[in-house]
Chains A and B, each alone.
Chain A
Amino acid sequence: MSEAMQPAALARAALAIRRQFLRMHYHARSGHVGSGLSAIDILTYLYGAWLRPTDQFILSKGHGASSLYATLHHFGKLSDAELASYYQDDTLLPAHPAPRGVAAIAAATGSLGHGLPIAAGMAHSYKSLRGTQERVACLLSDGECNEGSTWEAALFAGHHRLDNLTVLVDANGIQGFGRTEDVLTLEPFAKKWSAFGFDVRECDGHDFGALHVALAGESFARPRCIIARTVKGKGVSFMENTVDWHYWPMNEAQYEQAVAELDQSESTLAP
C-alpha cells in the first residue's frame, strides 16, 4: 500500500464518511441507515485504495446509495452543493442512485439483481471487445443473492473468465424482513460462487488489512468474489445487527448518541 492507503488513514476516512452519512440521514430523516453503515468500510477501501481513475464501480445494492454519496463526496467526486441536495426535492441524489444523474455514478440501481448483469456486460466489453484495461467492481447485498438474475450474471462472468470483474458481497446477514439464514439460506455461500467459476475470498468487511489482502493478487483468468462479512449498522451500537435500522430514520437523541459513539471510536484511532 502507498502512504495514503494505509489502514490507519482509511480508518480515519471511514470515520469521516460515517459522520457525514449520519448527518445526511438525520437531516433528511431518511432510512436505510444500517445498510449504509455496513458498506462504508468496503466503499472507503475501494475509493481510497483500489479503484483507478478509469475503473468502474456499480452499487448493485442501490439502497446503500447514501453511503456511496458520502464516500464520493469524501474523495472529491461530489460537490458540497450536490451532497447538500441529498433526499431533497429537485435532487440528483435520491434514496437509490439515479440514471445519468452525476458523472461519478455509472448506473441507476435500486431494484435488486440488476447491478451484476450490468457490471458483467461492462467487464466483458472492456476485456473482450474494446481490449482496454478498465476493471469493474460491483457491490451486492447478500439479500440480492436471492435474485436469479444475480446468478445468471455469475454464470456469464464465470464462463467468459472475466478477470477484470470483482464482485463484493456486503454479507451482513440481514435482509428486508429477516435474517438471510432464516429467509433463504445462502450457505455454503463461498462454495456457490466458487462453483460458478469465481476466485472466492472471504474477509472481515470492516478490516482494511483484510480487504487489502482479499483484493490483492491474481485470480488467474477468473472473476473474483469477495464475501465481506459485515455487521449491519456497523459503528453505532444500537443499530448493529438489527432489521429495524434498515428502515428507521434517527431522532435527535439517537443521532446525538450515534455521533458520540463515533467520537469515542475516533479517540481510539492511531494518531
Chain B
Amino acid sequence: MRVDFVRAVEKVLARDEEALFITGDLGFNALEGLVAKYGKRFINAGVAEQNMIGLAAGSALTGMRPWVYSIAPFVTYRCLEQIRNDVCLHQLPVRIVGNGGGYSYGIMGSTHHALEDLAVLKALPNMQLFFPCENDHVAAAVALMAELEGPSYLRLAVSAYTTSRAPLAEHPVTLTRAYATRADRSQPGVTVIGAGHAVQVALRALAAHGLDRQNADVFGIARFPFRLAEDTALLASVLETKNVVFVEEHYAAGGMGESMKLALPTLSAFSLMSASYRPDQRYGSAAFHMKQANLTPEALVALVQAQLGAA
C-alpha cells in the first residue's frame, strides 16, 4: 500500500500548494521522489514524533495542510496527546499516516505491531479513520482525506494473505467494498465484514478455502465513523442474514468490530475474529502472527459454517 500511498499523495502535493509532507525519519526507498520533487514542502522532522505532530498542528494553524508519516505505532502512541490536544481539539486538517497496521511488521517484533491504533484514535473528537482493504483502495482514501477540513488517520498495511480480488462494487463515500454475494437468498446466510486489509482473510477464504460455497456476503469496510445509512448494500445484507462474522487485524477491545456490533440492528449472531495478545510471546512473519491469533481463512470458513449450522 505504501507505493500506492506515495503515488496518491504526490498528486495531492502537486495540486495543493498548501499541502506538505512531514516524515518522522522514515521513508527509505519510498519517499526519495517526494524529497526531490517537493523540496521545501517535504520535511524530515527527525525521530521526534511529539514535535512532529505539534509542528504539523502549528503549520495547519497558518493555513497549511500537512501529511504526517511514520510507522503506525510510532505516529499514534508516542504522540497521542499531541494528536488529541494540538490536532483534534483544534479541528485541524492534519492527515496522519501510519505504515504497517496490524501485524504487517511481523518479525520486527511487538513494538512495531499496531493493534490498538484504531482504538485509541477512534475515541478522539473530530478524528476520521481510513483503513483501505487493498492496494488499489488507497488512492480513494487519500483523495477523500485531502478534502477534509479536520483531522484524519490512514492505516496502511500489508496482509499476510495478499489476495487481490476485484470488488463487485465500491461506495464512493463510505469506501465500503462488496466482494461476494451469497448464492441463495432464500436460505440462511452470513454477512462477512472485514475491516481494512483484514478483509483479505476473507478474500483468501473465497479464493482457496471454500468460503464461496457457503451462503456468505463479503464486504470490506474502510472508514470510521461508519456511515451505515449510506452503506445500503451492507445494511441490506445484515438485515437479511442477521448473522455477522467480523474480521479485524486489531485487538477486540476498542476495535472496529466492537463499534460495528453497536451500530448494527439486533442480530441473531455476531462473531468477532480479532488479534490477540499472547503472554508467551514468540515472533515471526505476519502470517505466523495471524495463525497464532487464529485469524486464518480456514478459521473464518469454519466459523461461517458453524454460524450457518446454528441458524
Question: In the complex, A99 Cα to B54 Cα: how many Å?
Answer: 14
Known: A118-B55, A120-B54, A121-B54. 13 other contacts (CB 8 A): A107-B61, A116-B54, A117-B55, A125-B58, A125-B64, A130-B63, A130-B64, A134-B62, A149-B50, A149-B82, A152-B46, A155-B48, A156-B46
Closest A residue, CB atoms, query B50 = A149
Asked whether B89 lies within 8 Å of A108 as measured between CB atoms, the reply is yes
With an 8 A cutoff between CB atoms, is A2 at the interface?
A: no
Contact with B along A98-128 (1 / 0, CB 8 A): 0110000011111101101111111111101
- Of the candidates B20, B46, B58, B89, the one whose C-beta lies within 8 Å of that of A120 is B58
- Chain A residue numbers with a CB within 8 Å of B48 are 149, 152, 155-156
Most chain A Cβ neighbours within 10 Å, of B61, B64, B89 = B61
- Contact residues of B between 22 and 71, Cβ < 8 Å to A: 40-41, 43, 45-46, 48, 50-51, 53-64
Cβ contacts under 8 Å, A130 to chain B? 62-64
B residues within 8 A CB of A116?
Answer: 54
Taken together as a complex, chains A and B put the C-alpha atoms of A56 and B59 apart, in Å, by 12
Residues in B neighbouring A153, C-beta threshold 8 A? 51, 54-55
The docked-state distance in angstroms from the alpha carbon of A162 to that of B111 is: 34
Q: Which of A131-169 contact B (CB under 8 A)?
A: 134, 148-149, 152-153, 155-156, 159
A129 at the interface (CB under 8 A from B): yes
A sample of 30 cross-chain residue pairs with beta-carbon separation below 8 angstroms, ordered by A number, consists of A99-B91, A107-B86, A108-B89, A114-B86, A117-B51, A117-B57, A117-B82, A118-B55, A118-B57, A119-B58, A120-B58, A121-B57, A121-B60, A122-B58, A124-B43, A124-B58, A125-B63, A129-B41, A129-B59, A129-B64, A130-B64, A149-B50, A149-B51, A152-B51, A153-B54, A155-B48, A156-B45, A156-B46, A156-B55, A159-B46
B64's nearest neighbour on chain A, judged by CB, is A125
Kindly provide the distance from the CB of B303 to the nearest chain A CB, expressed in whole angstroms.
Answer: 44
Q: Closest CB of chain A to B17's CB: distance in Å? A: 9
Q: B2 in the interface, Cβ–Cβ < 8 Å? A: no
The complex places the Cα of A233 from the Cα of B30 at a distance, in Å, of 54
Using a CB–CB cutoff of 8 Å, the interface residues on chain B facing chain A are: 20, 40-41, 43, 45-46, 48, 50-51, 53-64, 81-82, 85-86, 89-91
- Which A residues are in CB contact (< 8 Å) with B43? 124
- Which A residues touch B55, using CB under 8 A? 117-118, 120-121, 124, 153, 156
* Partner-B contacts on A (CB < 8 A): 56, 99-100, 106-111, 113-114, 116-126, 128-130, 134, 148-149, 152-153, 155-156, 159
Nearest CB of chain B from residue A144's CB, rounded to whole Å: 13
Asked if B81 and A125 make an inter-chain contact with CB atoms under 8 angstroms apart, the answer reads no
How near does chain B come to A156, taking the closest CB pair, in angstroms? 6
By a CB distance below 8 angstroms, the chain A residues around B54 are 114, 116-118, 120-121, 149, 153
Residues of A within 8 A of B86 (CB): 107, 114, 117-118
* Chain A residues in 8 Å Cβ range of B45: 156
A-B contact count (CB 8 A): 104
* Neighbouring A residues of B62 by C-beta, 8 Å: 121-122, 125-126, 129-130, 134
The binding surface of chain A is classed by DSSP as helix
Measured CB to CB, the closest approach of chain A to B4, in angstroms, equals 26
How many Å from the CB of B154 to the closest CB on chain A? 20
Q: How far is the CA of A111 from the CA of B89 in the complex (A)?
A: 13
A130: nearest residue on chain B (CB-CB)?
Answer: B62
Q: Are A108 and B90 in contact (CB under 8 A)?
A: yes
Chain A residues with CB under 8 A of B58: 107, 117-125
The contact of A122 among B61, B81, B82, B89, by CB within 8 Å, is: B61
In contact, A125 and B82 (Cβ under 8 angstroms)? no
**Contact A148–B50 (Cβ < 8 Å):** yes
A107-B90, A153-B54 known; A114 vs B20 contact (CB < 8 Å)? no
Residues of B close to A110: CB separation below 8 A: 85
Given known contacts A129-B40, A149-B54, A149-B82, A99 and B89 CB-to-CB distance under 8 angstroms: yes
For the complex of A and B, list the 8 residue pairs with the smallest distance between their C-beta atoms, beginning with the closest. Answer: A117-B54, A121-B58, A121-B55, A152-B51, A152-B48, A149-B50, A118-B58, A122-B58
Minimum Cβ distance to chain B for residue A266 (Å):
38
Chain B residues whose C-beta falls within 8 Å of the C-beta of A148 in the assembled complex: 50
CA distance A76 to B58 in the complex (A): 25
Tell me the complex Cα distance, A119–B46, Å: 17
A182 to B90, CA, bound (A): 36
Among A106, A118, A155, chain B packs the most CB atoms within 10 A around the CB of A118
Tell whether, in the assembled complex, residue B61 and residue A106 are in contact, meaning their CB atoms are under 8 Å apart: yes
- Minimum C-beta distance from A117 to chain B (A): 2
* Minimal Cβ-Cβ distance residue in B for A128: B40
Chain A neighbourhood of B50, CB < 8 A: 113, 117, 148-149, 152
Could you tell me if B40 and A100 are in contact, using CB atoms closer than 8 angstroms? no
Task: Name the CB-closest residue of B to A159.
Answer: B46
